[in-house]
Structure formats: structure tokens, C-alpha cells
Structure 1
């Protein structure tokens, strides 16, 4: 007797969601630590404070970065020149907080420290979120492709029918998830290409 079967999309396993959450938290912690790296004593002694402010702004650092610099440079007996630093930081911020840079920053998967002033925040953040959505979708595709390679190896090395059947079922489930992830990446990239 012939029976028509509807294809059902398998649900994503909870373990993958937990693993992704752990990786996201770890990545955010590492980005935070990297963003808080203080200046060395030598850098404090030779700093061009206006240039330092400009560089920090172009790197997306918030205004509170100056307090970190004060702490680091106090150990070297150097006091940063706040006026020069903030002048450079303000100039850099006007270059950093553009919609195009927001899209680029998000597409590179970089974290954003809410450094843009209110009048520039909305445009930057909107494009940053669009870029970040594309980056996240791309990472999901890469992760699923890695899982697919692992499952294919498991299928190739399977010794019995039950193990082969399980690996094939897992590969089918991954095919669905990978197709959805690629579609999400296409949508995100399309959205990112739209004029602001």
C-alpha cells in the first residue's frame, strides 16, 4: 500500500542552542576584555592625547575609556590631557557613527559599546543591527556546515545499519537547518544591500 508522507522539519536540538549560548557569552566576555586593555606605561609617556582620542573613537570605544586610561597611566605617573583626548574622540566619533560604518562594523561581527551620541545613534544602530544579523546568519551557516561534515564522517565510519540510519537521519535534519540558515543569510544580505 502506498502512503504519502509529508516532509517535516525536525526541531533543533536543545544541546545546540545551549552550546551556541555558551559560545556567545564567551565571545562577549573576550570582546569586553579586549576592549578594556589599558595603555602601557610607554604608551602613556609618549601619547599624543588628541590622536589617542581619535583612535579610540574610531575603534568604537565609549567616552568611559578615558577613565581606563587615567587608571593605567596613573601607574606610570602620567596624567592624560582630557581636553585633547576628548577633542580627538569627538572628531573620531563623527567618523565612526555613520550608517555605512555601522553596517560594516556589524557585518564584521564586532561588538558595539553604545558610543554614538543620540543624534547619530539611530542611523548607526539600525545599520549595525542589519550587518550583525548577516554576520550571525553567516556564522550559523558555517557552524551547520561543520556539523554536517562531522555527521558525514560518522556515516562513513558507521559499522552497522543502526548507526548508518542514525547518521542519515541526522544529516537530513541538518540539511533542513542548513537550508533555513542559508535563506536567512540571503535575506540578511539583501537587507544590508538596501539603501539607507
Structure 2
């Protein structure tokens, strides 16, 4: 039994090491470092960390990546990444930003990224509130069934718990309405940005 446990542990550790590799052995052997670099740049990876990870992956087959060729591809890919619409897309997806865009294109990327990330954060918050509300609602339903057959001595505690849950649900509904209003505003800003990605943001009345 102990040997079996050690075997499973070894397999699990091997799978963990495999999952840490950015490239397979076959990919290292057949690598076109310019193409790989372009793909990495287009994804917005931090260059030093990403190339070091490739080099570590390919140590297994004694292949040293061509950093010069890779970086040429990376710079080409970065041109595709550092655009306003790319920023919006990555923000909406909840991706991080590794501060890789050069000054000439960073402002446009960040404008889109900030809008998209705000929309993503609000959508995540709304989903969390809806989930929280649903779980509390289900608990209230369970307690409503339970209280029917509960001894008199327990009914007071059950009713108090139900009252607390219903207070929480009212609070969640209020917060949910606020978040929905903010999300409507954020979505309207995103829609305007999608139509005018290279234009400066409009000046709002009162500013």
C-alpha cells in the first residue's frame, strides 16, 4: 500500500513538472523562435520571465533558444497586443497586465484595458451577489420546511436565523441594484469606446 502511495505521488509530481513547462520536448526540437516570440508578444507576456521559462523547458532536450530571433518576433507580436481594442479585450477577460507596452502605445492600451477591467470586475461582483443571494434563499427555504416540524424550543432560533437571512437578502438586493446601475454605465462607456477606440474620452457634463 505504501509503495502504491509513493507511486501515485511520483506520478503527480511528474505531472506537476510537465504542467510548468511552456513548451513540450517536441516543440523545443521543432521550434521557430520568431513565431514563438510573436505569439508571446501578442499575448502580452513579460519578456524576461517568458523567455527564461522557454529556456528552462528546453533544457530537457539540451536546446538553447535563440533569444535574438525570439525577441524580434516578440516585438512584432507586441505591436498587435498594444492597441486600444486589445486592451479592452484583455481587461474584459480579467487578464493581468505586465506593463510591457512602450510609451507610444501604452496610453491607448491602458484606456481600453481600464474600461474592460472595470466591466469585468462589476460583472464578477454581480455574479457573486447573485450566488450569495441564491444560497441564502435556499437556506431560508430549508428552514421554512424545518420549522414546521421543529420543537417549540427550537422555533425561536430558527425564526431568528430566517430573519437574519432575509435582512441579508434585502441588503444584497440593494447592493445588486447599485452594481447593475454601475455596470450599465460601464457597458455604455465600453460601447462608445468600441466605436471610437482612438478618440479621447468625451468630456462629461459638469467636469
TM-score, normalised on structure 1? 0.76
Partner of 1:187: 185
Partner of 1:39: 23
Partner of 1:166: 164
Partner of 1:15: none
Q: Shift of residue 37 of structure 1?
A: 4.5
Deviates more, 1:93-102 or 1:153-162: 153-162
Question: In terms of Rg, which structure is larger?
Answer: 2
Partner of 2:59: 74
Partner of 2:105: 120
Partner of 1:154: 139
CA deviations over 1:15-39 (Å, ceiling 9, x no partner): xxxxxxxxxxxxxxxxxxxxx7532
Partner Cα separation in structure 2 for residue 193 and residue 169 of structure 1? 36
Partner Cα separation in structure 2 for residue 98 and residue 37 of structure 1? 29
Summarize the alignment of residues 125-144 of structure 1 with structure 2, pairs less than 5 Å apart. 125-144=110-129
Partner Cα separation in structure 2 for residue 103 and residue 42 of structure 1? 35
Deviates more, 1:85-94 or 1:157-166: 157-166
- Do residues 84 (structure 1) and 69 (structure 2) align? yes
CA deviations over 1:78-117 (Å, ceiling 9, x no partner): 1112222112111111011100010011001111222212
Q: Shift of residue 133 of structure 1?
A: 0.5
Q: Aligned in 2, Cα 1:37/1:129: closer, same or farther, shift over 3 Å? A: farther
Q: Shift of residue 74 of structure 1?
A: 2.7
Partner Cα separation in structure 2 for residue 126 and residue 90 of structure 1? 21
Partner Cα separation in structure 2 for residue 116 and residue 73 of structure 1? 27
Q: Aligned in 2, Cα 1:37/1:74: closer, same or farther, shift over 3 Å? A: closer
Partner Cα separation in structure 2 for residue 71 and residue 77 of structure 1? 10
Question: Which is helix-richer, 1 or 2?
Answer: 2
Q: Which runs of 5+ in 1 are unaligned?
A: 1-35
- Give the secondary-structure state (helix, strand or coil) at the position aligned to 1:38: coil
Say whether the 8 Å CA contact 2:21–2:57 is kept in structure 1. Answer: no
Partner of 2:92: 107
